[in-house]
Amino acid sequence: MKWEMVKLGELCTIFGGGTPDRAKPGYWGGSIPWVTVKDFKSNTIDSAQESITELGLKNSASNLVKAGTIIVPTRMALGKAAVCTIDIAINQDLKSIYINNKNKLDRDYLLHFLISNSSYFESRGKGATVKGITLDVLREIPIPLPPLATQKRIAEILDKADAMRQKDQALLRKYDELAQAVFVDMFGDPVKNEKGWEKYRFDQIFDSRLGKMLDAKKQTRKNAYKYLGNSNVLWGKFNMNNLHEMDFDDKDRRIFKLQKGDLLICEGGEVGRTAIWEGKLENVFFQKAIHRARPIEKNITPEFAMKLMWFLAKFGGLDDYVTSATIAHLTGEKLKTIMIPLPPIDLQQRFSNCLHNINIQKGQLEQDSSESLFQSLLQKAFTGELVA
């Protein structure tokens, strides 16, 4: 079915946000929730980690965004979209999208359309470490525009599928919480090191290095291989759907070749985000925004190390090592100096086995879950395949 294609900028008005001066008294700690990409937990935003006052709002580039408005990131969390359920203010990394004519474009239809194009927004991102898109990219994206009644029907179907997906995701989070509880029970709080495990410098335990710098001018495509970037490394897993390529010659491939059991650690963005390379795909390398950490001896398991990094990242264990003059970074030099508590290897192995069993349960749920159904419906929705 062929529908009219209309650019987002012709259908909507887009506003940015800003950050009030933190040095000014009376700007912060008010009644207006101030939203950043950290507050994107789902397709709705109903709270924020910080708040500002009316004075702070007035004297900044931010705007009051009314409840029911679609919010999208144009930096870092590209491809996400959510509706705010309360009045909020937003920072400069977010944009609010106001529909000009609600008799022509349905809000929930637009929300699902933006989410369905997450890979497009990610692919258009520019930046060495933290990716961002321009307002022009957002305004120029073409939207298929069926009749309003058809839009509402599509949104209704996707809402129901998404509700099923959200239930499955909640159960998956419970499995993650179980893994975290087991870790604390066995090893204690690793930030406080309350069980008194002996500590070692990171470079005493791991051989680590950053990946290859992408130089667009030097790409010949003669030795093009896929590589992992910051956005491909998630907590405990990888997003392999949008791998880019660059040249890796013979020397590069020896240096940047991944091995099973390697830890991949984000240098910027969400600093410390870590996953274990399982070696399921051959000839994949890594870019400069990623640290590769490889155990020097068999005195640490990848599973213990990955979960340790999660606790350090989430509970302030990396604060003293992160450089954040403008954008937070964990440099190679700083990574090497992180002090790591090291429990006995047999205790670590017990945790690895437990985590393996939890992951089996998660894998079965993911395989049988409504996620694939939702994604299938999402792709069909905007081509005319979902509704007649």
pLDDT in tens, 9-25: 999 999 989 999 999 89
| Owner of token pair 């093009």 | 224
Q: What's the chain's average pLDDT?
A: 90
Q: How far is CA 65 from each of CA 85, 98, 137, 174, 385, rounded to the nearest angstrom?
A: 10, 9, 22, 33, 34
Phi-psi region at 61: left, alpha or beta (left = phi > 0; alpha = psi -120 to 50): alpha
Residue 83 pLDDT class (50, 70, 90 cuts): very high
Integer Cα distance of 254 and 34 in angstroms: 47
Integer Cα distance of 39 and 313 in angstroms: 17
Query: Domain 4-145, what fold?
Result: Adenine-n6-DNA-methyltransferase TaqI; Chain A, domain 2 (3.90.220)
Domain 198-342 has CATH 3.40.50.2000: no
Q: Establish how many alpha carbons lie within 13 A of residue 345's alpha carbon, considering only the half-sphere containing its beta carbon.
A: 8
User: Is the whole-model pTM more than 0.75?
Assistant: no
Domain 198-342 in the same topology as domain 4-145 = yes
pLDDT of residue 325: 64
Ranges of each domain in the chain: 4-145, 198-342
Integer Cα distance of 142 and 115 in angstroms: 14
What number is the average pLDDT over the span 146-153? 92
Alpha helices per DSSP H over the chain: 8-11, 54-58, 107-116, 118-123, 135-140, 148-187, 202-205, 250-256, 302-314, 332-337, 345-368, 371-381
- The amino acid present at 131, given as its one-letter code, is K
CB 273: neighbour CB atoms within 10 A? 20
What number is the average pLDDT over the span 184-213? 95
What number is the average pLDDT over the span 303-311? 97
What number is the average pLDDT over the span 362-383? 74
What number is the average pLDDT over the span 42-59? 90
Integer Cα distance of 363 and 355 in angstroms: 12
Sign of the dihedral defined by the CA atoms of residues 248, 250, 255, 261, in that order? positive
What number is the average pLDDT over the span 149-163? 90
| Owner of token pair 């029911």 | 68
**Residues whose CB falls within 8 Å of the CB of residue 175, separated by 6 or more in sequence, listed in order:** 358, 361, 362, 365
Structure tokens at 312: 């350090």
- Strands 82-84 and 44-45, by their bridges, are parallel
